[in-house]
Structure 1
Amino acid sequence: MKLSLRLRRLLTTIVTLLIWSQLAWDYFHGGVPTHYLLHDDRFPGIPNWWGAAILPFFTWFLLYRIHKRIDGRGMLVASENLRNIVLRFLSGVLVAVAIAVCFMNGIEVTDYIMGSLFVLAFFFPLYKSEYLLGWVLGAAFTFGAILPMGFGSLLALIFFVFYQLGKAVGGFIRPKTT
């Protein structure tokens, strides 16, 4: 199955409606929250309004990247089917929700979760767009959309480097067979 233009439009519309619904709820129930870098109010605040303006474009961009990767090739790689992409997306959502729940409840395991992601990045392509989209959408409710977009994009870059290092070291260690 392909990631058609119609499906990309539908998913982007759903994300747009969800983020604007959350903003409407926040507005009528105490005001739209502002988030701070490193959770320190000495830094400039980023209100959730910015996320509502930018998240639909970010979603569209990542869905377009996924579309180009899976639909833009002559032959489809088995690991690049839509089912695997959905599973990657859901794993990104689950990790982000786990971190958000731990953060909100003061559970001190977020460092271990993040550390395990850095280790897993050597073996799995955690830099792919579906992981990033899952991360951003899973964390947006708690942290707004802008901070997860920025932090997730930085993580994707680091994870790309780690994955390439893991492949290089793995290729160096494994003997070539003829």
Structure 2
Amino acid sequence: MARILITGIVTISILGLLLWQYFHGEVPSHHILNRKDMPEISNWWGGLLLPLLTWLLLSKIENRVSKRDPLTPQVKNQNIKVWGLFLLGLIFGIVLAASFMNNYKPLLDNVFYIFLALSLIVPVYYPEFILGFVLAMTFTFGAILPTAFILIIAAFGFLLYRFIRPLILRVTKVVSK
């Protein structure tokens, strides 16, 4: 039920944004990598992608959370983690979008490194982080570019969190003995 409600809210929101943009000039298009020699992607595609992406990511979240026994106290903790990762993705997306809009170079020049460091601490490849990030950046960049960007980052994040992080933790445990 929550998946339908949230997807409906996202659908109405993105269609409202697109209609507002349409009736106030035009629906913007964005060049890949912000370079004029690269192809443009219209924000209209977000009207299709964002509801679909929301539905798929919420399905992944529900499947992962529902695998737990609902009577264990870990389920409440799991829900807090889901919301925490969603909010972290949302906040990071807002900060990144605001930095781009204000041309704040120190953050923009180091986004990839910040994501790599963050990937060692939290699983940025989880669907709730991805959804929060894409939703936060949709107003500034449309839905397509943030989705492509975060999927690349999520692939690196998966490798770092699942393989490099355990090695670092093991080495620090051995060194601390």
Give the equivalent residue in structure 2 for 1:167. Answer: 166
Give the equivalent residue in structure 1 for 2:81. Answer: 84
**For structure 2, which runs of at least 5 residues remain unmatched after alignment?**
none
Cα distance 1:37–1:174, how it changes in 2: closer, same or farther (>3 A)?
same
Alpha-carbon displacement from aligned partner over 1:39-63 (angstroms, at most 9, x marks no partner): 0121111101111111101100000
The answer to whether the aligner puts 1:65 opposite 2:64 as a matched pair is no
The answer to whether the aligner puts 1:103 opposite 2:100 as a matched pair is yes
Alpha-carbon displacement from aligned partner over 1:95-121 (angstroms, at most 9, x marks no partner): 111111111111112233542221121
The 8 Å contact of residues 122 and 167 in structure 1, kept in 2 or not, is answered as no
- Partners of 2:97 and 2:123 lie apart in 1 by 22
The 8 Å contact of residues 115 and 153 in structure 2, kept in 1 or not, is answered as no
- Partners of 1:102 and 1:54 lie apart in 2 by 24
Q: In angstroms, what is the RMSD of aligned CA positions?
A: 1.7
The answer to whether the aligner puts 1:41 opposite 2:36 as a matched pair is yes
- Supply the AA of the counterpart residue of 2:65: I
DSSP-derived class of the 1:19 partner: helix
- Report how far residue 131 of structure 1 moved: 0.5
The 8 Å contact of residues 32 and 145 in structure 2, kept in 1 or not, is answered as yes
Equivalent residues, number: 170
Give the equivalent residue in structure 2 for 1:54. Answer: 49
Taking the TM superposition and a 5 Å limit, the aligned residue runs for 1:125-164 are 125-164=123-162
Give the equivalent residue in structure 1 for 2:4. Answer: 9
**For structure 1, which runs of at least 5 residues remain unmatched after alignment?**
1-5
TM-score where L is the length of structure 1: 0.88
- Supply the AA of the counterpart residue of 1:29: H
- Supply the AA of the counterpart residue of 2:125: Y
